[in-house]
Structure 1
Amino acid sequence: MTLTESSPADIIRDHANDAWVGIVPLLHEYIAIPNVSPDFDPDWREHGFMAQAVELIAGWCRARPIPGMTIEVMELPERTPMIVIDVPAFNGGSNDDPVLLYGHLDKQPEMEGWRDDLGPWTPVLEGDRLYGRGGADDGYAAFASLTAIEATQAAGGAHNRCVVLIEASEESGSPDLPAYIEALTDTIGTPSLVVCLDSGCVDYERMWVTTSLRGMVMGTLSVDIVTAGLHSGDVSGMIPSSFRIIRSLLDRVEDAATGAMLLPELIVEIPPGRVAEANDTAPLVGAYADNYPLVEGARAAVDDPAEQLLARTWYGTLSVVGADGLPPTNRAGNVLRPSTSLKLSFRLPPTADPKAAAAAITAALEADPPYGARVSFSNVDGAPGWDAPATAPWLADALDASSTAAFGQPARNFGEGGSIPFMGMLGGKFPKAQFVITGVLGPDANAHGPNEYLHVPTARKLTMAVAHILSAHAAR
């Protein structure tokens, strides 16, 4: 059953708007909790912040007046908790053809560079922007998911059984998720639609649907050459610098002049459909890199707008995201340091194999160490990317209709440069499912960085759009 003329789209709009009046204060409370992901807080259980965030969100969910809904805070041994919500079908929808909705509540660490009047754990509502860590990535997801279900019911629409999963280890690469997916096999069933609210958007004018996600490999590259710091005037030229060695090792995997990956395991042929998608989207968004705070006189690595979209989604990249062994410049003596360690983040094209990539990277970095230095690539972790299956006609129509109803503009597709391990996992487990991967993180929302914010009107409108999609799914 679709929404009837006596239950117009403005009922969904009004319900979502009313609900979000109460959600925004709860997001203030959520942002104030420093529940960083376990990779960044090994003592997360003792600190209690994750439990506090789980209870805040689960408590709100429990209070929702959704008939037949069950909520469990599930915690497998030695795992982060998972909020599991099961909502039975409504108004003629099917219990045997479920929808899976996904989000997470763990956060990235603080990061430096916040505006003086802002901070990661200091929620500030400034116009349409709610600043603070985690509101958009991804604390809003549970609120939006249940509000969309409520709005569908309030408007007299039908929806199939809905399973909502809110995990707590996504920012660490979702290491706990496979165990939960296995444990929840009977609860999840075989969904024909997966809705993920953990992605981004190109602008705030329409619903943006993510059609691909990059995979990743992370690890720590360490070089040790001597057992103690030595006077650089005494030994330099005779004893090699650990930094020069590590720099030469990076040249084995990346072209320093262009940023291109040098290992075939980190390179794929871009599907023609994704190239066409970038060419179609580029005129709408222009030079996408211009949305980011380049210093005066700097420019992007590629100039063509379509190539920028492909570069951030279908090209492998290397980023050095952390370092050990380097003292602050104001405390750096004239010393040849004994060791250098760099944390490396490789983004993989969506269809690259992360296990093969990790093995190739490790072999390239550790083979034949220069000068016989001690070289290791350790703490290696990887996650698969994801490339969306062909969109079913019913969903293509529903996306445009839902975006038009909520935003006034039809939906558009784009590839996302980040990783959501859940999608690769679910894509393999449920190959016949349709996927709606979307989110509220615009190009200047600065997820993971300083001054991260949630654009509240977009979150409200996206909630409305999901409600329309749930009804369309039941009616297909």
Structure 2
Amino acid sequence: MTSELSRPQTVRAAALAAVPAALADLGTLVRIPSIAFPGFDPAEVARSAAAVKELAEGLGIFDRVEIRDAAIDDTERGMPAVLATRAPRNGRPTILLYAHHDVQPVGDETLWDSPPFEPTVRDGRIYGRGAADDKAGVMAHIGALRALTEALGPDFDLGVALFIEGEEEAGSRSFAPFLRENADALRADVIVVADSGNWDATTPAVTVSLRGNARFTLTVRTLEHASHSGMFGGAVPDAMMATIKLLSTLWDADGAPAVAGLAQRDADTPPYSEETLRDEAGLPDEVAPVGTGTILSRIWNKPSITVTGIDAPSVANASNTLSPEVSVVISARVAPGQSAREAYEALEAHLRAHAPFGAELTFSAVDCGDGFLVDTSGWAVTDARAALADGYGVDPVDIGVGGSIPFIADLVDEFPAAQILVTGVEDPHARAHSPNESLHIETFRNALVSEALLLERLDARTL
């Protein structure tokens, strides 16, 4: 004697069955080098958008599926995004599912153990650029919608908007205009941003805080032209000396930011050992961590300052010359709750006050994005936690994330009534943005099942 499966059980079974096809489609997407940065072929981003559009159309559930872009300014348009919509019925909510199909550049390809755009399976992981960040997020959405459609049929009542952006890694420069131009299509009761991580490979997480980011280029000039280091060294300050002295003032003896005006958030963090930090970050035993306080407070709730690039003579081109000018890129992560613009102004004031030898400072390419604190009191968070627990078989953890997703502030501004959930398919060893980026297959399976179960819960909810 057999018993009829409940709706959630039927959806779970369909989701598990959908995983192999979702992984195969993920491999197809990973093979497309959809890098949206200047200097890379925009045709590949367009090809990626077309592939995502085909996947969305193949679901057979949307009233409309389109590739759209928006203007950045009077002369430039953003990269193509995929927008698909279906209206809700019978008083059901609408959910907006966000991910992005563009990826980071490869970097030094010799550091990859397998070709970055050839998905390769090793030890339960799929390696490739974008395999985790964020084409896995795209396929978690597609796979979950496939499962829901297979289990309930295409005439379910839940409203769905699918928004797959094409320039997140390049700064989402047309994101806010895109939201304004497509506000009616994107408006939703719940927004799921699938671009974060999990506590570990087997424990899901709901991201409840994100740091902001203040990024800029600093140029330090001390000379009108280059001069011979033997003829004038010892009397004339070169730009490299001035830059090194200036940058050293940004941190205290513990390696924590020493800039007045940078705030920190006072919030508890769960236990997290130095051993775990070393394992997940690749920190050797002989290198000490920086900062003070609990390790997760340093990553989630306090600011950090990183020099991410420098323009100066290379080692190969070094000569006995006093450099007249040096440029560096400074990327500061801003504590949740502080305005990124306020943090940038504190950094600029600090650098100007500490400029050595009267060095001339120029600030350019300033890019500020605010952090985010999730309101965890809404019903959507409750439903998401329950779906994650059912999908992973483990209760989820509320986490902060040291990284930044500045466009979430744009979502809040445009859709203030929406409940925003930040989730993801990455585990701490995904190495997003780095060589040998990878997706843990079991984590992806659990994430897809969890999202399908969330969709089922929302389809059963009447507003």
Instruction: State the TM-score, normalizing by the size of structure 2.
Output: 0.89
**What is the RMSD of the two structures over their aligned residues, measured on CA atoms?**
2.6
Maintained 8 Å contact 2:30/2:118: yes
The equivalent of 2:185 in structure 1 is 187
Moved more, 109-118 or 197-206: 109-118
Of 75, 86, 89, the residue aligned with 2:69 is: 75
Alpha-carbon deviation of 1:180?
0.6
Maintained 8 Å contact 1:23/1:143: yes
What code does the residue aligned with 2:50 have?
Answer: E
Maintained 8 Å contact 2:425/2:443: yes
Is 1:172 paired with 2:170? yes
The equivalent of 1:124 in structure 2 is 120
Query: Which SS does the other structure have where 1:218 is aligned?
Result: strand
Q: Following superposition of structure 1 onto structure 2, how do residues 141-156 of structure 1 map, counting pairs within 5 Å?
A: 141-156=137-152
The equivalent of 2:390 in structure 1 is 405
Maintained 8 Å contact 2:147/2:452: yes
The equivalent of 2:284 in structure 1 is 295
Structure 1 residues 249, 210: CA separation in 2 closer, same or farther (over 3 Å shift)? same
Maintained 8 Å contact 2:272/2:296: no
Q: Matched residues, percent identical?
A: 28
The equivalent of 1:235 in structure 2 is 232
What code does the residue aligned with 2:67 have?
Answer: V
Is 1:384 paired with 2:380? no
Q: Deviations over 1:407-442 (max 9, x none)?
A: 111111110111112222223333443222111222
The equivalent of 2:161 in structure 1 is 163
Alpha-carbon deviation of 1:286?
7.2
Structure 1 residues 446, 348: CA separation in 2 closer, same or farther (over 3 Å shift)? same
CA–CA separation in structure 2 for the residues paired with 1:463 and 1:337? 54
Query: Which SS does the other structure have where 1:6 is aligned?
Result: coil
Query: Which SS does the other structure have where 2:271 is aligned?
Result: helix
Alpha-carbon deviation of 1:251?
4.4
Maintained 8 Å contact 2:87/2:94: no
What code does the residue aligned with 1:85 have?
Answer: A
CA–CA separation in structure 1 for the residues paired with 2:449 and 2:335? 32
The equivalent of 1:52 in structure 2 is 47
Is 1:267 paired with 2:263? yes
Alpha-carbon deviation of 1:238?
0.7
Query: Which SS does the other structure have where 1:136 is aligned?
Result: coil
CA–CA separation in structure 2 for the residues paired with 1:227 and 1:199? 46
The equivalent of 2:410 in structure 1 is 425
Alpha-carbon deviation of 1:114?
5.5
Q: Following superposition of structure 1 onto structure 2, how do residues 197-236 of structure 1 map, counting pairs within 5 Å?
A: 197-236=194-233
Instruction: State the TM-score, normalizing by the size of structure 1.
Output: 0.87
CA–CA separation in structure 2 for the residues paired with 1:445 and 1:14? 27
The equivalent of 1:24 in structure 2 is 23
The equivalent of 2:74 in structure 1 is none
Alpha-carbon deviation of 1:116?
5.3
Is 1:317 paired with 2:304? yes
CA–CA separation in structure 1 for the residues paired with 2:47 and 2:344? 35
Maintained 8 Å contact 2:19/2:448: no
CA–CA separation in structure 2 for the residues paired with 1:169 and 1:232? 44
Query: Which SS does the other structure have where 2:145 is aligned?
Result: helix
Query: Which SS does the other structure have where 1:414 is aligned?
Result: strand
CA–CA separation in structure 1 for the residues paired with 2:91 and 2:120? 40
CA–CA separation in structure 1 for the residues paired with 2:456 and 2:336? 30
Maintained 8 Å contact 2:15/2:452: no
CA–CA separation in structure 1 for the residues paired with 2:282 and 2:98? 31
Alpha-carbon deviation of 1:115?
4.5
The equivalent of 1:244 in structure 2 is 241
Alpha-carbon deviation of 1:51?
0.7
Alpha-carbon deviation of 1:256?
5.5
CA–CA separation in structure 2 for the residues paired with 1:226 and 1:284? 48
Contiguous gaps of at least 5 residues in structure 2: 72-76
Structure 1 residues 286, 170: CA separation in 2 closer, same or farther (over 3 Å shift)? same
Query: Which SS does the other structure have where 2:132 is aligned?
Result: helix
What code does the residue aligned with 1:384 have?
Answer: D
Alpha-carbon deviation of 1:27?
2.3
CA–CA separation in structure 1 for the residues paired with 2:112 and 2:142? 35
